[in-house]
Amino acid sequence: MTQGFARGVRLGVDVGQVRIGVAKCDPDGILASPVVTVARDRETGPDGTPKDMTELARLAAEHEAIELVVGLPVDLSGREGVAAGHIRAYVQRLAPVIAPLPIVLTDERMSTVVASRRLSERGVRGKRQRAVVDQAAAVEILQGWLNARRRQG
């Protein structure tokens, strides 16, 4: 891989209001692939941590992730709106749950639109598409971030 780019698995995360899509890359950071869709569960476990955050921490440990790459929704002009504020607040609550893993925010402009289009092109529609579109968006987020790191290096 490029100099200055640590080798290791990264998880891509697409945080939605209802579901959270999760993807991962290979240790060399070449290819992102879908992992799972997690229900956005604001209900807390016995330790007071929201169940979806506990599940993200479990997935990070299971896949031995070295970093989480979370999509930050910005508008087409690059400005952050209300949705970006929600993601920043979510990440702020998530950080202590997955510590010491770092969280990187990355522009996720159009990731869900692109993911939906690619799924449709493959014949995945309706309920089947809704079930996997969040994972596909997480793949788009992570793959875009990986590609940008390669271009920078």
- Name residue, tokens 């995360």: 13
Best-predicted range by mean pLDDT (10-14, 15-19, 71-75, 119-123) = 10-14
CATH of 9-152, one of 3.40.50.720, 3.30.420.140, 3.30.70.1070, 1.10.10.10: 3.30.420.140
pLDDT of residue 153 exceeding 80, the answer is no
pLDDT at 74: 85
pLDDT at 77: 79
Cα separation, 46 vs 62, whole angstroms: 21
Mean pLDDT in residue range 16-45: 94
pLDDT of residue 84 exceeding 60, the answer is yes
Q: Return the axis-axis angle of helices 51-62 and 82-98, rounded to nearest 10°.
A: 60
pLDDT at 59: 98
pLDDT at 11: 98
Burial 85-115 (b: 16+ CB within 10 A, else e): eebeebbeebeebbeebebebbbbbebbebb
- Tens-digit pLDDT profile for residues 105-122: 998 865 666 666 776 677
Reading the block at residue 133, the tokens are: 């579109």
Domain locations along the chain: 9-152
Cα separation, 136 vs 142, whole angstroms: 10
